[in-house]
Structure 1
Amino acid sequence: MLPARFQPILFAFIMSGFMAFLMSGILTFINLGWFSGFFQAWINAYLYAHACAFPLVFIFAPLSRKLSMRLTQAAGPRISDN
């Protein structure tokens, strides 16, 4: 187990890994179609994508969290305007 202070870094690494893996696979297929070297091309694209995505997720996660909190309402009882 890692200390809690590493949670934001680990979150960014895992989230960027999932997103880069899925998006690189989808875009590789869209751009090149299915061919005999598809998985090699996908992994190659994934390595580049994750190298870019990790620092971007780490940088933009706090902004995304703040923006999503502003755009949503807290759960709980509300006083109606009636």
Structure 2
Amino acid sequence: MIPAKFAPVLFGFILSGLMSCIVSGIATFRALDGNGPFMEAWMTSWMFSWMVAFPTVLVVAPIARRIVAAIVSAPKT
């Protein structure tokens, strides 16, 4: 098991992996337009996308949390 202190990094790793997989798959499919070796092109695109997405998520997530906190109202106690 991984210690709980690494949960935010692990969350970012998994989230960025899933999101980059989906987005690169859609973009690759559209770019190839049904022509060419889809799986090979997709996996290549995905690995590059994930290398960009993971550090981006780690940097952008705290900013996004602050923006959301400023937009939503806190629950009243």
Matched, 1:12 2:28: no
| RMSD (CA atoms) | 1.4
Structure 1 runs, 4 residues or longer, greater than 4 Å off:
none
Q: Which moved more, 1:25-34 or 1:68-77?
A: 68-77
Equivalent residues in 2 for 1:56-67 (5 A)?
Answer: 56-67=56-67
Unmatched 5+ stretches in structure 1: 78-82
More helix by share: 2
* Displacement of 1:75: 3.6
Aligned residues: 77
**Separation in 1, partners of 2:56, 2:47:** 15
TM-score between both structures, scaled by the size of structure 2: 0.89
Name the aligned partner's letter for residue 59 of structure 1.
V
**Separation in 1, partners of 2:48, 2:21:** 10
Report what 2:68 is aligned to.
68
Q: Radius of gyration: which is bigger?
A: 1
Equivalent residues in 2 for 1:1-82 (5 A)?
Answer: 1-76=1-76
* Displacement of 1:26: 0.8
TM-score between both structures, scaled by the size of structure 1: 0.84
Q: Which moved more, 1:45-54 or 1:29-38?
A: 29-38
* Displacement of 1:72: 1.3
Q: Deviations over 1:11-65 (max 9, x none)?
A: 1101100110001011111222123411110011000000110000011111111
